[in-house]
Amino acid sequence: MTPEVKQRIEELINNHKIFVFMKGTKLMPQCGFSNNVVQILNTLGVPFETINILDDYEIRQGIKEYSNWPTIPQVYIDGQFVGGSDIMIELYQQGKLQQMVEIALAS
């Protein structure tokens, strides 16, 4: 990963309290896993931003290296990597995700 790609990734993560690297957009997810994440965040009613990694090959490859996580989507809350679809579902079902986003949005 080039320093420029790393900087772009860090700016995206650090400039938004909740950020999702996903396939498609939050209005039109292009895979079931990305759709799961969007639906969970919409259910919580929290603001979040996304990037369509299908439109940006450097970010698509770079984020996997940056997080050391091989799959998409990838969710960051308050600058910290949380996980993908399965982890988001688990955190939501346990009631932990609501607490995480409330803390992030309050800071």
Distance, CA of 75 to CA of 91 (rounded, Å): 12
Look at residues 22, 54, 64 and name the one whose alpha carbon lies nearest to residue 39: 22
| pLDDT interval class at 21 (50, 70, 90) | very high
Alpha-carbon dihedral angle through residues 37, 38, 42, 43, given to the nearest 10 degrees: -40
What is the token pair recorded at 102?
A: 């409330």
CATH for 3-106 is: 3.40.30.10
pTM comes to 0.95
pLDDT digits (tens, 9 = 90+) for 31-78: 999 999 999 999 999 999 999 999 999 999 999 999 999 999 999 999
Yes or no: say if 73 and 33 are a contact pair by the CB < 8 Å rule. Answer: yes
Query: Could you state, in order of their start, the residue ranges of all structural domains in the chain?
Result: 3-106
The reply to whether omega before 73 is within 30° of 0 (cis) is yes
Tokens 């998409």 sit on residue: 72
Q: Are the CB atoms for 18 and 48 separated by under 8 Å? A: yes
Between the alpha carbon of residue 71 and those of residues 102, 104, 107, the distances in Å are: 26, 24, 28
